[in-house]
Amino acid sequence: MLARTISRTLLKAAVPRTTPLAAAATASKARTYSSKVPPNDERIFPSDAAASEGADPAAATKEIPLGEEEAPRSRGKTGGDGLPRSAYISSTDRRRNAMAKYFAWATLAGVVGGGLYLGRELEDDEKAMHPTIGEGWDQFFSRASARISDLLSFYNEPPFEKLLPDPVPEYGRPYTLVLSFEDLMIHSGWTREHGWRTAKRPGLDYFLAYLFQYYEIVVFTNQPEAMAAPLLQKVDQQPGYIMFPLFRAHTRYVDGKYIKDLNYLNRDLSKVVMIETNPDAWSANPDNTIKLPPWKGDATDRDLVALIPFLEYIAAMGVPDVRKVIKDFDGTHIPTEFARREELIREQLRKELGNTKGKKKGPPSWALGVLGMKPKEDEGDDVKTFMDIARERGQQNYLETQKHLAEHKEELLREQQQAEKEMAEQMKTSLSKIFTEGLPKAPGQP
């Protein structure tokens, strides 16, 4: 009886009451200590004591082999409690996943539909633009590629096929002179003392005023209009010399370069001369371009003014194709080479007239002195070529024009301001008027 009481007391002390969480936490420890089961004579639960309590002696003495582990739970596509993973996704995430799937399918459908639409048969106006592309499925990708190129050209090509209006026959200037703006007419630089400053090239006013009588002058810059227009207004002190300004929006954008394509100018290229300092800008029309080095602000520079005789020769002689003349002077310093050739012509004319330099015709100087007449120092200087005569006439026209401008300066300024005011009034079209009356119609349109 005493032994049974002791066994019950030891059993309660050895097996304390534990919660399920505590039992789970000590499960791993049980596996570790299972290999250290004491001998039968030292066990807390002898077989006779267990038998006396009605327990199975074999179960009481069962040992767990060392290293044996519980079978792991199969997770697979289930959660920790045996639920599928989708059970742990919130409703917000489910909506997002559904929207992503819908968007992916819509994108795929749009790409396929857009490709089929781009590869459709060409319209009549498209056939005129792409005469080499035919019909049928074999030309499907050619039609799609052509339409994609047309879409991209909206951003890479000039906004209009004709950058300048049609020439007026009564205008009387068959030649067009296209001038670059930056590093040809002006130069901008920054210094620590003065910050940003812009300098105007020496002789620019005379250059524009003199050639205005021969050329339709156009300034073409690759700068945005908002930046270049105020500077251009200051450069053109006498409004009217620069007939048309063109800006970056009128260039072609190819491979990161702004190209001034004269083919969009709406002028006969055989009568167009361009003066440019940037090789990328004139790459589309090298035969029409007089290539000059960039002007860096040198106050003693005279290269621009020195080009006047050459440009005057083209206009005065009525050259049928300026590209041939420009190509003939390509690779040379045009002012120097033109002066050399002009002197050769003048010398040849002297020889033909029998009036070479150093040879004097007529009575000797002493005879003229007796008669009270002053002899001429050099008769050879009286030989004038056609260009000499044309240059004298051009100088006379220039002086008369400047005199007229000086005498009527105030009147011309008032007329200019009035014209600008009228133009501003015509451009005032409110949004409400557009919505109520529609866009303004072109002249002559019903």
User: Do the Cβ atoms of 335 and 310 come closer than 8 Å?
Assistant: yes
CA distance 247 to 51: 109
Mean predicted confidence (pLDDT) in 19-28: 49
The top-scoring range by mean pLDDT among 122-136, 238-252, 400-414 is: 238-252
pLDDT band at 156 (very low <50, low <70, confident <90, very high): confident
CA distance 260 to 180: 10
Comparing CA positions, the residue from 254, 252, 303, 267 lying closest to residue 178 is 267
Residue-wise pLDDT for 76-130, tens only, equals 555 556 677 777 888 898 899 999 999 999 999 999 988 888 888 887 777 777 7
Tokens of 300: 């003693």
pLDDT value at residue 35: 46
Tokens of 2: 């005493």
pLDDT value at residue 179: 97
pLDDT value at residue 24: 47
Cα–Cα separations (whole angstroms), residue 342 to 248, 265, 266, 338, 382: 38, 32, 33, 6, 15
Cα–Cα separations (whole angstroms), residue 7 to 13, 39, 224: 10, 18, 103
Residue-wise pLDDT for 282-318, tens only, equals 999 999 999 999 999 999 999 999 999 999 999 999 9
pLDDT value at residue 50: 47
The top-scoring range by mean pLDDT among 231-235, 354-358, 431-435 is: 231-235
- Is residue 187 within a helix (H) or strand (E), and if so which, with residue range? strand 186-191
Mean predicted confidence (pLDDT) in 173-178: 94
Amino acid, single-letter form, for residue 328:
D
175 backbone dihedrals φ, ψ, rounded to 5°: -105, 145
Mean predicted confidence (pLDDT) in 148-167: 83
CA distance 437 to 338: 60
pLDDT value at residue 44: 46
**Number of other CB atoms surrounding residue 315 within 10 Å:** 21
Mean predicted confidence (pLDDT) in 249-270: 93
Longest Cα separation, the chain: 181
pLDDT value at residue 239: 64
Tokens of 141: 């990708």
Task: Tell me the pTM.
Answer: 0.64
User: Do the Cβ atoms of 310 and 334 come closer than 8 Å?
Assistant: yes
Mean predicted confidence (pLDDT) in 150-154: 74
Tokens of 325: 């003349």
> What residues does each domain of the chain span?
159-331
Tokens of 395: 């100088």
pLDDT value at residue 145: 84
pLDDT band at 259 (very low <50, low <70, confident <90, very high): very high
Distance of CA 137 to the CA centre of its chain: 36
Architecture category of domain 159-331 in CATH: 3-Layer(aba) Sandwich (3.40)
Burial of 203 (0-12, 13-18, 19+ CB in 10 A): middle
Comparing CA positions, the residue from 301, 328, 179, 166 lying closest to residue 246 is 179
pLDDT value at residue 413: 77
Tokens of 55: 């327990």
In the predicted structure, residue 368 carries a pLDDT above the cut 50: no
CA distance 343 to 105: 79
In the predicted structure, residue 181 carries a pLDDT above the cut 90: yes
Buried/exposed code over 43-58 (b: 16+ C-beta within 10 A; e: otherwise) = eebbeebbeeeeeeee
pLDDT band at 438 (very low <50, low <70, confident <90, very high): low
CA distance 207 to 312: 11
CA torsion, ordered 119, 123, 125, 129, to nearest 10 deg: 30
CA distance 152 to 4: 100
**Number of helices (H) and strands (E), helices first, in the chain?**
18, 9
Amino acid, single-letter form, for residue 53:
E
In the predicted structure, residue 174 carries a pLDDT above the cut 50: yes
